[in-house]
Every structure is written in structure tokens, then in C-alpha cells.
Structure 1
Amino acid sequence: MTVQKDVTKNIYVGNGSTRTFPFTFECPAEHPEYIKVYLMQDDGTALATSDYQLDMDARHITYPSIGTALPEGKKLVIMRELPLQQMMNLVNNGPYFAEDVELAFDENVMAMQQIAEKLNRSIIMSVDIDGDAFVNEVPFEAGKSFRIADDGKSIVLTEDPARVLPLAQEAYAQAQAQAQSASASAAAAAQSEDSAFESAGVAGNSAQYASASAASAAENARLAEGYKTAAETAKSNASLYAANAKTSADNAGASKEAAQSAATTASNFASDARNSASEAKTYRDNAKTYMDNAKNYSENVNVFTPSVSSAGVLSWTNKAGLANPPSVNIKGDKGDTGARGAAGAAATIRIGTVTTGAAGSNASVTNSGTTNNAVFDFVLPRGEDGVGGGVTVDDTLSDTSTNPVQNKVVKAALDNRAVLDEHNTFTSPNNFDDIYMADGKSSLKWYSGSPNFVVASINSKRYTGEAYTAQKATKDGDGNVITSTYATKTELNSCVKSVNNVTPDSNGNVSITVSGGGGSNVIVDTTLSATSTNAIANKAVYNALSGVVKSVNGTKPDASGNVTIAVSGGGVSTSESNTWSAQQNFHDLMLNREKYTTYVINGTSYTPITSTVIYAVTGAFTLNLATLAGALSASQSSVFTAYFAANADYSLTISNAGNLKYVGSASDVAITSAGLLLNIWMSKDGGGTLTSIVQASKLS
């Protein structure tokens, strides 16, 4: 064996119908356990499965073993995974097995390919990176991600983009809200500044007004001494106006400073919001990059997509430019015509209910029974009324009317008529005034259960008279049934008519004189007795002996009533155990329980002579079925069952079993340390050719 293909796995996408998936990588035929099958889950994880059948000869798996095919869009991965162990031990001057050394080399190459495949799924720096200058240790902290440091010389922790993105989006939304709030504050500040300028203008006007008022007051003082008080008042008011104007000016200055401070704060908020929004956009862009990369990896890494042509050819395509697995024709040859099936149970059909539906509705038939015993319930729509006043329906029978007649009227008329079945038998009570029948041809008959069993009849040749007399003909005048009260002629012929020419009296007794007995009567018993010394009636003895065994195989009972018989080859008891040393043929056998003699055999080979055996295996084992095969004649079959117990894994060879066939794969017939249950059905056809079907079950 050589390892020429640098392939360690095959990836397939289900189409809802394909169940056979080939593997194109090399794998030692004696190590089917190296084949692993994974199902990709919706969250991207791989789940190992054992629900598949492996055919190392055909180099494919069947998934699932039974049931529906891999759903459309679901991924299945077949991988070769070797244990990273070196099990070969070469010793000095020991034997050299070239095939074993070759297999060890092959497995080393497979292990290197296995490691290379995992490295291909790893993050690797480009070749222009100085590995000595870069610290490639990856820090670890739960819930964190990592990135290349800003100096490009190490890997540092960072927030997980998947976790930061929602936070960034939330910060971006808050920044936008703060920016809007800052803008509103700036507008309010500007408005406050405008109000401050307006207040300063009012204060100036007030000052000018105060000055004008003072000048006017002075002039008035000069003009009129009488206005001195008014002038002083005006002067005082002017001073107050001036103070108020100054206060207004101070307030305006404070409002202006507050407006400028608010504008500065709003500007700072807006700047922070822009920075947060920029950082959030960076996180969002990074997250999208990760998502696009993951999507690209999932769609373009060695993914094989199957398709089946109308001719049954299974082929594959992939997006990675890799060599596709060879096409396989999965359409088998047309099978032989199957045997004719057994005759099905005879079906019955009968009419159930018939219901009248509304006029204009659809007729319907419903099966209220079963498939084989159908009961059809009909719903028939009532007819529409006729044109021009409808149809006249008679409510009585008439021999002249041409109108339809009501169903109820017809039924009532038929109920008053004699109802006969196909045997001319009345199926319901009928009252007749007169019955006329042809002379010598017709008769009245009574039967029990079936017309084939007639119990009585009357015709014109056998009877005339009243019906009451005919009924009494079976009884005497006192009403006693004649057949059970009086003896028949046959019975009377067997009775004693006389004893010594003396006939019985009215009570049936005969008085006789016995010679030497002094003229006393003889008493005859009518029943058997263990103590009576009287004579016994012949009829009582006959009845007592009726049903008694008189002989068995010509041998009569002894004095105790027992018969001793001899059976060729020994007797057979139904209540005790029997041992048969020769073949017994049974055409129909029903058992409540079976038990077999089961031997426990130690060693590495055995030729069984019984149907069940337990083997304690210590190495590679050979099972020789020559004895069991020789015990079969043409057109005979037998079943052999064995349990193999072992402390390690060993091979199993079956010999002298004729044409061997397997349930599953031949590779399943191997002894494991957990044990093996082996069933073999052996059968010879009419020509004596032996075929053995092997079913092996590895135990867990």
C-alpha cells in the first residue's frame, strides 16, 4: 500500500435523497476504526455519529443505517483519524516483515497528513514575519478575543467583537442622543446670548432715558422752584433706573458667559459623540469582516456537492477546485420478479345507511367499515320540485293512478305481505286465511338451522284434519310425550316376554318357583351393587360395561383391569422426561421453552458438534463447521450460535461452511475484548450445496 493522495477528509452536502457517500482518501483495510463520520450542527460544531454502515471494499459509507437520507443543506464529513502511536517493535536479529514496515511508514505519512490538515485550519503568519521577533504566545481570558498588538510584535487581548458590537451600537445611539442634546443646548445658549444683548440694549436705553430725565429735571428746577421736589424725585428715579440698568448689564454679561460655557460643553459632547460613533463604526466593520471571512471559509473549503442523473450516476462538484470523487452508478440491475403474494382476505361490501340530503346538494358515499369489510353509507339529494306546481305523490296504493307513490306507503303495503327468502321460507310472522297447494306436489316443511335439515313436513297424501290434532299426535291423551314415555318396538323385542312360560303381570313382574327353594320369588336388581347377592338385570350390566376398554392391541385386561403393553424402543411418557438417542421427526411442534447443552471451550480452534457453544478465546480463532455441515442432508437447514469471550481483539476464521455470506460486512466478523455474538444459518439445497449466512454482533 502507498499513500499517494494528500486527502484526509471528504465533505458532502445532503440533497434529501442520497445515502451513499464515498471516501477518496487511503485507509488500511484492517483498520476500519480509523474512519470517523461527523454531522455539522446549526451552530457550526461537529457531532460524531456511529449511525452508518462502512464498506471498506467499496470504499463508501451509508448514512444513516436506516431511516431518511441526509436533509438538504446539511453537511456530513468523513475523516481519517489515526491514533498518534507507534505500535511496531523491531528487535535486533529479529524477523523482518516488509508489509508491516510498509504499513508503519504509511500510517506515519497518514498521521503527518492528519496534522497538516489541522494546521491548514489554523491561523498562520505570512512568511515575511520574523518568527524570532514575534511573541506568538496567545493570552487567554474568558469572554475575551485577541488581536495583533499595535507594534506588530505580539498578540494582546481585546474585547470580543460579537460582544462589543451591541455595546458600540448602544454607545453610538447614546452619542447621537448626546449630540442632539448638545445641539439643542448650543441653540439655547445662542438664544440666551441674544437675550443678553437685548437686555444690554434695554439697559442702555434706560440709562439714556435716566440721563434725559435728569437734564429735564434740572431744567425744570431752574424754571420753577416749585418743581424742585418733583425734580428731586425724578433724580432719585433716574438713579434707580441707572442702578437697574447696571444690574441688567451685569446680568447680560453673566448670561453671555453662561451661554458661551454651554456652547463649549455642547461642542465637547458633540466631539465625544463623533469619537464614539467612529469607534462603534470600526467595531461594526471588524465584525462584518469576521462574518464575511467565516462565510467564505464555510463555502469554499473542500465542500463536495452530490447530484444524481436520471441514469442513476452519482457525481460530485466543489468550489475549491479540488479533484472530485469518481462518479458511481448507484442504480442496480433490475431484480427478478418476486414470488406471488399470498391471497388476501376476502373483502365484503354491504349497504349501511341511506340518507336523503337537501335538494341540489351533492351525493356522497362514506365507508363506515374497514378496508376488507366495507359498509357504504349513502347520502342522496332530494329531487327538485317539478315545474308548474310540482309532482303529485299518492299517499295510498292504486291500480289506476300514474302518480309516484310515497316510500312509506309502499313499505306498509309490503309489510302486510308474506316475506320469503331464497328457500321459500317465511322470514317474519304472516297470517293467512287460506293456503292452496297442488295435490301431491307441494308440501309444508319445517327445518332446524338450515333447509338441509327438515324436521317435519305435511302434504296432501299424509295428513288431513285439524292442526290441533296434528300437534297432539306426538303426545298421549294425558299430554305425555310418546317417544320418551313408551318403549319402542325395538326395545320391546329385547324384553323378557315370559319366564318358564309365565308372562309378566301388570307391573312387569314374574313369579316363578325355584326347584328346592320352597316356592320363594327371585329378586332381580336393576342397578349394580358390591353387596347384593341378587341376580342383576342384563340391561344394567350392559350399560355398566358400555365404554369400558375390552382389550389393547388384542391383549385383554387382567383380573385388576390392567393391560401391560410393550412399545418398540422403549416407552414414551407425557409426564416424565424422555431421552431420544435417535432422530425423531415431527411435522408440527410447539414448545413453551427450549434448552440446549452448551459447552465452554478454551483455545484457538474448535469443531462444534452442538448448536450452541461458548468460547474463551486466547488468540486468533478458527471455527471449523465440518461436523455440523456433515449432519445436514439435502434440503435441510440448521442454526449455530456461539458467544466468544476474549481479553483482547483477535481475528476469526470460519472454515468448511460452504458458500459464506454475511449480514453487513465481512469485517464485522472479528472478536473484540468486549465479546462477540455469532449466529450462522446453514442450509443445503436440493443438490446438497451448502450455504452459510453469518451474522456477527460486537458487544459493548
Structure 2
Amino acid sequence: MLRQPPSLYSIPQNFFYFSRKKNTLPMMKTYERIHPMKTISENTLGFYNDQGIFTIPAKQYDTGRVFKFNIIDSCESMDLTDCNAYIRILKADGTQFQGNDCTQIADSSTILVDTSIGSGNQILSAPGINRCELHITDQNYTAVTTWNFNIQVEPRVHDGNHIISSDNWDELDRFSETAEKTIANAEECMDRSQAQTAQCEAATELCNTATQSANDASNHAHTAAAAAENVNITCTKDENSFILRITDRNGTSVESQNLIGDTPAFQIGSVTTGEEGSQAAVSLTGTMKQPVLNFIIPRGDTGSIENVTINDVPLSDQNSFEQLGLHTMTIEETLNILRQEVL
């Protein structure tokens, strides 16, 4: 419904009203029953600072606090039927917070902000002055914001970091955590030690192997040096052979005799003319001391006479003309042939 404010109240120019539709389902959220452990801070909140900027005290990190706001407009309760609301906070640490799930409309004119619902546990996390406001919208998305109010978050007395009592649970938890870290570090050190021990054992084994190899090499070197000591090698030669003799320090000799071969005397055997187009060939006969080489040389192809003129043959050689089937021509015969070619 549309409610007209009293005429005695000074209405700013930018004031607007919420439209209300009758016989419609309510949009307000259903608020859960307050748990016995929760404490409620009830306040009256308007839109024109007619109540002043009030401050609500609260302890840091409490999640059992509920802030109840009776919304008034022109000194009368405001009808919040079919409306939605959420809280907006500029926190003392400079961060901003908007709580939709923790803000609920309990009845037609009351808004509850519960620190135990949803993100409400962040409302009291920053100690100091937290500047707050409630934002309300109706079905037509018309919006209005309440006047500012403060939540003074008082930090808790201690954070458990400097407790010296031996029977304190925080001290026991910290001791347990320290012991767990110490055990984890010890296990890590043990693993590293085992890995290093394995590496040392492998390195020791390699060193032992290298030492054994060096000893074996030294023994072989001594054996070779002893074997090579006082060894005498001689080589003699006669007309038919040469003798290689090796004598060790004990006087034991080993000889190797190798015969000297004769120098061969090559001779030319037959030289035969082969047929035209055949392949040339060489054969070896005789003995090792007197080898004989036989050759077959093919005959060349028969030549042909083509395009031979008189000028290619000397005029004085008449027999050559007759052998070639040619005859000499006089100057007159030559001129007659030229005239016929011209005509």
C-alpha cells in the first residue's frame, strides 16, 4: 500500500515511497527462530538521521550476535512487505562487505542481521569502527537506503599467541603442532640421510672397483716389465732366407726362418692377330721364375672411301687415280660441267 507521511514532518525533495500491491505473495525472507545462545541488539533506524548516528558495540569474531532494526519512516513503522534488504559495511580495515544471505526481513517492519548465517561471520572480523547501512528494494526494484550507523568491533583480549599457562588448551595445541612439525622435519632429515648414505655406499663401491682395477693394471705392468727385461732380438740373413731369433732373460730362444723368393724373369711369348671386332687378351704361361706373356691383338676394321675429290689426290700419282676408280679431267671438260650447272 502507498502510505502518505505526516504533514508535520519535513520531507526532502528526493524522498520517494514504496509501492505496495495488495493480494500478492510476500517476498520477505522467513527468519529462523533465535537460538538460545544468540544475543540480540535491538535498534530503531530511519532514513533522515532523525535518530542520530548510533553505535552498536560488539566483540570481534562473535557469531552469536543478531542485530535487530525496527525500520521507521516519519516516526512510524515502515511497511516492508514484499521487500528485500541487505547490509553494506565499510569495514575498519578498509575493505567492503555486502551481506545478502545474513540479512532477513523478520516481519513487516523489522530487519535482522545474523552473524551466524552465511557470510555474516565476516561482519565482526575487523576491529574498530565499521560504518554500516541497510539497503531495501521492493518488487518494482525501487531502492532506498537507511541512514548510517556504526558497529564498534572491540578486539578480543588475546589471540592465543602469548599464553604461558601450562594447562591452557591453546598451549597444548601449539605444543602438539610444534611436535608434529618437529617429527615431520626429523622424518625428512632421516629420508635425506638414508639417501645420502646410499649414495656414499655406491661411491665407496665405485672407489673399491677403481682401486682393484688400478691394482690389476699395476700387476700387469710389472709382469710386462719383468717379461721384457733382458729380452734379446736378433735377425740374420743368408742367400736363401732370413732368421728371426728372440731370447728371454732365462736364455730360452725362439727362432723363425723365412725363405727368400727368386726374382721372376718375364718373357714375351706369342703375339697373335685376332679377328675384326674381337677382344684383346693376355695369357700367362711358363714358371714362377720364368713367366711367359702371350698377346692376342684384334685386326682393325676395314675403312671406306667417301667424298674424295681430285684435289685430295696428287695429280702426278696416276696409279692412285686408277686404284680409286677416278680419272683426270681437262680444263675444257671442267668448264663444260660448270656451264651445265649454271644453265
TM (normalized to structure 2)?
A: 0.29
Q: Comparing both structures, which one devotes a greater share of its residues to strand?
A: 2
Q: Which has the higher contact order (CA 8 A, sep 6+)?
A: 2
Larger radius of gyration: 2
